[in-house]
Structure 1
């Protein structure tokens, strides 16, 4: 399997011409605070405070951001940050509605790659190329928040990985080891099921979890060089390799919980953390949530074993923070952005939120997070649907999610899923139009 190299995909990351993707729901966005009397950018004593609104899709990070924001406010007493997270599946709709009505937050969390930079193309974001500290991030990492115009619009947050979490106690009690091939993974799941243990915590209610899980499973069947051929149009998404990846998503069904089609992330996380399931396919960003639910859980991870005897961990630049171009407190918002480019922020972010910082060289206190970070350097592969196929209307990523939900409802075959995904990509992906 070809290792993920951010520079190898930078050119395709910039082709963002779509609205934010894949989220349902709605609600009222928080209104930015009323304008203060602080002159733009002034930090002197005796001036009134400015309160900046800051929106995120990570409710799980509220406690960690409280500590980070407190550290910023201690150094900038005239600026207060009102951090307001929303449910991930509702965030896009809330944010779009607010931006379109000129009531968006001063600081907003951007979805990665095309989904986020589309907001820059619509004129909603302030360019950050001249922001002090932005050069602390490699160009390949900044590519995840770079618009079609070549300008940077977000301060990158983290490098996310996606893999199998597993319960070491359950594995040891049943004489099981980390699987090193697809056949071993299936054999492990069968053994667990025979002993009355639900093998994999999985739910199909939220579409984004399906493309994420596919991002883990797919590399098992994608041969070395396949992605390069895909990017050149020498292969497509109806290929035997891609079809096999969908078939394997179907092959795992017997090892999911009962009524898995109605389960969402909170259900899946709880099942795994309370030791009712043995494995859990999810991202590095779930580590903190799992540990909060059960600090005593004997937890480990393994990367996806491939058909050629290797193993890979799926990775991507995951999100960034941007400044609303229509913010009434733009200079103060940029001051917070500058703080986010510092090593102090990067270290607090990594260790309070248990995530891999997008800034190189940031030490990680959590050994399991370190393991993920090391694998991301040695054995990584791109999250195919986010890095390469997050455009279209609906996006090809969303098409895969909808089609997989159809498959799990017994309405589509794997062949039909692959066909739908290919048809979606062919509407916008230039190599498929040759």
Structure 2
């Protein structure tokens, strides 16, 4: 009798798990996406329960690494883009699985697919393309008759005007170091320019170039226009402050728009690329593939997980994703919402993306020490706190990357 009870319990457990897929992410704003995906799958005759869990972004990578290594992880995770040391390590340790045999990738460009490909195999379905830059409150720009700047000096003049009129020009979430690295990188593609970044990649220049130090100095000088105590503030603080008019501008990504409108439906948001130094220079936007929806080695429900991933590779998924998050879907053929700022950002993505970058999606984050995690993230906080100088930040970058990056090693005769 006892064996029968145990058998029934096991069978019931299997039945419960059979139609469930567990997904982990760092994007809490995607919860509604998965509710609609579940409904669409049901319409297709696939009764799959999707359990979506979002974690604090700064804790996410550590959580999934531990969970997958201990066998307690979910069927599917949001993974970071390639190239990138974190994702590459997960693949090499067998924690992320290739999905080429299951998924039709014909709705993705090769450029997008490069961000999920490792040694010829694809590890995940790309979900979004992100565009970063400066977002501003149109009410303040209209009130003080401000125009989108064409040069860095014009940007500084805008900040001066706002501060003089009692408005905080920039809200900076300095507690979260990654946002400071993003700020540096989005300024770099316009102020330094893609040609300079290409020279850096090729080993024709290095981080001690006065131009790189000049960018550090310009950012450090700009901090007088940030909110008081900005190194103690988070992105949650920033979202609320910007949405309710406590600051006029933020250095951020289009993914923030959804939160700002949810908090304050009346806010009117504008966008511009970080301006270059002179009007004869072209501004650029930092554009990157955000991440992928990835099958894990902990998958307990392979059949239904594959069905979910197949749907994620369709224009229908892209339409759902874009209309809820106001992000640009990675999949082609999706129908985007008629939102002016999203249409503008899509145009920037198509026409003004920098071809060379040094933050996410760059060669400088593929090994340790990483320019992202080990140099600019702590280094920007230290510089803003006054513990190191702009020159010292350049030296930290030089010393770290020259340990392993061959073109730089050759340049330095190492």
TM-score above 0.5, yes or no: yes
1:324, 1:351 → 2: CA distance?
A: 27
Q: 1:224 to 1:100 in 2, by over 3 A?
A: closer
1:34, 1:171 → 2: CA distance?
A: 63
Q: Decide whether the 8 Å contact of 1:221 with 1:244 is kept in 2.
A: no
> What's the C-alpha RMSD, in Å, of the aligned pairs?
1.9
2:185, 2:322 → 1: CA distance?
A: 23
1:231 maps to 201
Can you list the C-alpha shifts for 1:248-300, whole angstroms capped at 9, x where unaligned? 21021010000101001011111111001111110011110111011101211
Q: Does 1:356 align with 2:331?
A: no
Work out which of the residue numbers 51, 62, 69 in structure 1 matches 2:20.
51
2:189, 2:35 → 1: CA distance?
A: 37
1:180 maps to 150
Using the size of structure 1 for normalisation, the TM-score is: 0.86
1:196 maps to 166
Can you list the C-alpha shifts for 1:195-251, whole angstroms capped at 9, x where unaligned? 111001112101111111112222232145112211211112222222222112102
1:358, 1:146 → 2: CA distance?
A: 15
2:237 maps to 267
1:245, 1:374 → 2: CA distance?
A: 27
Q: Which runs of 5+ in 2 are unaligned?
A: 1-9
2:346 maps to 373
Work out which of the residue numbers 60, 66, 69 in structure 2 matches 1:100.
69
2:3 maps to none
Moved more, 391-400 or 365-374: 391-400
Task: Find the structure with the greater CA-based Rg.
Answer: 2
2:335, 2:81 → 1: CA distance?
A: 23
Once the two structures are superposed, the pairs formed by residues 281-292 of structure 1 within 5 Å of their partners are: 281-292=251-262
Q: Does 1:422 align with 2:398?
A: yes
2:193, 2:128 → 1: CA distance?
A: 28
1:16 maps to none
In structure 2, the residue corresponding to 1:411 is in which secondary structure? coil
Aligned residues: 393
Using the size of structure 2 for normalisation, the TM-score is: 0.90
1:171 maps to 141
Q: Decide whether the 8 Å contact of 1:141 with 1:156 is kept in 2.
A: yes
Can you list the C-alpha shifts for 1:386-417, whole angstroms capped at 9, x where unaligned? 12122333422012110111111111111111
Q: 1:427 to 1:348 in 2, by over 3 A?
A: same
Q: Does 1:67 align with 2:24?
A: no
Shift of 1:76: 4.7
Q: Does 1:402 align with 2:378?
A: yes
Q: Which runs of 5+ in 1 are unaligned?
A: 1-32, 39-46
2:47, 2:142 → 1: CA distance?
A: 54
Shift of 1:353: 1.3
In structure 2, the residue corresponding to 1:54 is in which secondary structure? strand
